[in-house]
Amino acid sequence: MRNVIAKFFNVVILGIILTYVSAMKGKCGYCTDIPETKYVTILSTIILIQVLLFAFFPNQALSFILSNKWIIIVLLIINVANIIYLYRFIGKMNESQCRQCSSEWRRTFLYYYSTFVLILYAINIVIIIISFSSLFATQGSGKISESFTKALTTRHRKN
């Protein structure tokens, strides 16, 4: 049930993003000249397709992603890039001559949403750095490099 609710909110947020960008393109000529407009539209559409695939074909989408490890990295990069471009797009809407024509609840919502998600990403990065640094501190760099070398040579011999 949680998955259904999370996917629903993902679709709603992506819908808000895409309808806001589309509305701004129609209202203001300046918005179409901002490079972030194009990037937000493309990346949000890709993410929406991904969410819909997981909603309608969960088993097939999951097995496809798990069988292609690079897709996980690509999707992660797309999600991070989308939030960064969304934050920059909304920031330019606040600073530019579009401030008056773009003033509505969606701009405010997307500003706080993108800020919140960027803060979460920053916290995750700090936690990852702390985890890796504590791993190096507790095990020592020699043991980790020995374990890594051993794992690589064992895997190489199996293939």
pLDDT tens digits along 9-41: 999 999 999 998 888 877 776 766 788 888 999
Summarised one tens digit per residue, pLDDT across range 105-159 is 888 899 999 999 999 999 998 998 888 787 776 665 555 556 555 555 554 454 4
Distance CA 132, CA 46 (A): 32
Report pTM.
0.75
Residue ranges making up the domain that contains 28 = 2-158
pLDDT at 156: 46
Query: In angstroms, rounded to a whole number, what is the distance separating the alpha carbons of residues 159 and 149?
Result: 16
Name the residue with higher pLDDT: 55 or 143.
55
pLDDT of residue 159: 47
Q: Is the pLDDT of residue 47 over 90?
A: yes
- pLDDT at position 2 is 66
Give the three-state DSSP class for 12. Answer: helix
More confident residue, 97 or 120: 120
Tally of domains within the chain: 1
CA distances from 45 to 93, 110, 116, 144 (A): 20, 16, 21, 41
* pLDDT on residue 149: 56
The Cα 27–Cα 98 span in angstroms is 9
